[in-house]
Structure formats: structure tokens, C-alpha cells
Amino acid sequence: MEQQRLFLTIGLFFLLYLAYDAWQLEFSPKPVTTVETTNVTTQNQTSDVPVGADTTASVDNSSSVPSSIKPATNLASKAVPQAQRVFVETDVLRLEIDSYGGDVRVVDLIKYPKKSKGDTTAFRLMDDAAKDLFIAQSGFAGKRASNDGTVIAAPNHNSIYKVENTNYKLVEGKDTLEVNLYWNSPDNVLFVKTYQFKRGSYQIGVTYKIVNKSGRDWRGNLYQQLQRKDFEDENQSSFIYT
């Protein structure tokens, strides 16, 4: 049986805006604004991988940027679970990805100092520490009956992926970097979650490749969400801690 492949491409374009927002918070007067908050920001996409010829599909969710992010309250007092860490460094970003959920857990902006004077520590945009939780998650929702003959098993933000390496760096002479994470279902459907980085870019691309060897069609609903802790300081950004 031929392998079936589905490419679901996600762009985390909000990072560039967040970087700008962070810099403005450090070096510009803070304007007085009113922000409407929500609990979890989620974007969904339904996809099928049939048995038969190779299939490809693209998903572009980059046009939706939430005005604010505020996570479920049960995450506000504790950090999320951890498994194996994958460390990634480009010319502008330093990240930590966790194999638990394949989540982006830590993002440092290398070219943006934490303070305007004296402290050259990179500004931390995202963190999975309990006191300032702010992470990016994605996966597939599959809570439905499987009596239609399709396969629904798929990884979500509570699944544990296998990793190839634990350290990645964008080296001189290269303009792109990819980090692969793997999850295999009991039905023999392989999911490859790939993070994509480009030199000089704050954009983080995420691609899912699905190789269906189950003998049945696979169906799933792709979601993305940002989880963050409630913030108490009214002077803090609705996006970022300072």
C-alpha cells in the first residue's frame, strides 16, 4: 500500500508582532488601552488522509492574530508537564521545545536585551515556568466515534513525541533549519511534526506530515492554541510579561 501524506502548514506569524510589542514596552511610553480577553485561543482545521494515491493539503492560519491570550485557570498556578527538551538556536531566536506535546515552551529574542541599559540578557518572550506561563501548543482533536470506519488516533498537546536530536543550531552558510518530532499511533499512522526556522526571521513554521499505513482512511481536526497565566499587573502587556 502506498504511503499517504498530508502536509498541514501552520505559521506562527504572531511572534514577530509580539517581539515588536515587547520592544515597545521596554523603550516607549505605555499607552492606556482597553483589551478584551479570552481563555484559550484556538484555530481548527479538519483534514482527511484517504487510502489511495498520495494526498497533500495546505492550511494557512496566519491571518488570525488574537487580540489577547488568557489561559484556562487550572494552568495558572502550576507549570505544564515536561518530558525531553530540544534546544534550538538561530541568529535571532533561542528556543526550547518539549517532547511532551511537541510544544514551544521557551522563546528568547537574542537581539532584544531584557533591559535598555546594563543587562544584555535576551528578552524572554515565552516561558513554561508557573509564574509566567506562556506557551504555544498544537495537535489534533479526535474525541468522536470511530464507527465510520476511519482512524482517529492522533497526537495532541498531551502526547509524548520521539526526537532525533536534543540540540539544533542554524550554522553559518545555512539559511534554514528544521526540527523533527515523531509520534506513531497504534493503528500504524506516523505523524511527523516539523518546526521550520529561517535566518533573520522571527517566524516559526510548523508542518505536520502524516504517513498512513493503517489500511483505513484517517480523519482529524487540527487545532492551535496559546496557553498563558493570568497577569495581575495592569501595566503588563496583554501579550507579554515584563
Give the pLDDT score at 61: 35
Does the model's pTM come out above 0.85? no
Query: Is residue 175, in this structure, part of any structural domain at all?
Result: yes
Is residue 199 one of the residues assigned to a domain?
A: yes
Three-state secondary structure call for residue 20: helix
**Which of the residues in the chain have pLDDT under 70?**
1-79, 116, 142-147, 230-242
Q: Which pLDDT tens digit goes with each residue over 77-91?
A: 456 899 999 999 999
- Angstrom distance (rounded) from CA 185 to CA 216: 13
pLDDT of residue 142: 67
**pLDDT value at residue 48:** 58
pLDDT for 88 equals: 98
**Structural domain tally of the chain?**
1
pLDDT tens digits for range 168-219 = 999 999 999 999 999 999 999 999 999 999 999 999 999 999 999 999 998 8
We report the CATH number of the domain holding residue 124 as 2.70.98
Residue 148 and residue 225: Cα distance in Å, rounded?
28
Residue 242: inside a domain, yes or no? no
Assess if residue 237 is contained within a domain.
no
Is residue 233 in a domain?
Answer: no
- Residue at 239 is within a domain: no
**238 in any annotated domain:** no
End-to-end CA distance of the chain: 54
Predicted pLDDT of residue 106: 95
User: Is there a domain that residue 234 lies in?
Assistant: no
Structural domain of 39: 5-228
Rounded percentage of the chain residues whose pLDDT exceeds 70: 59
C-alpha cell of 94? 533561542
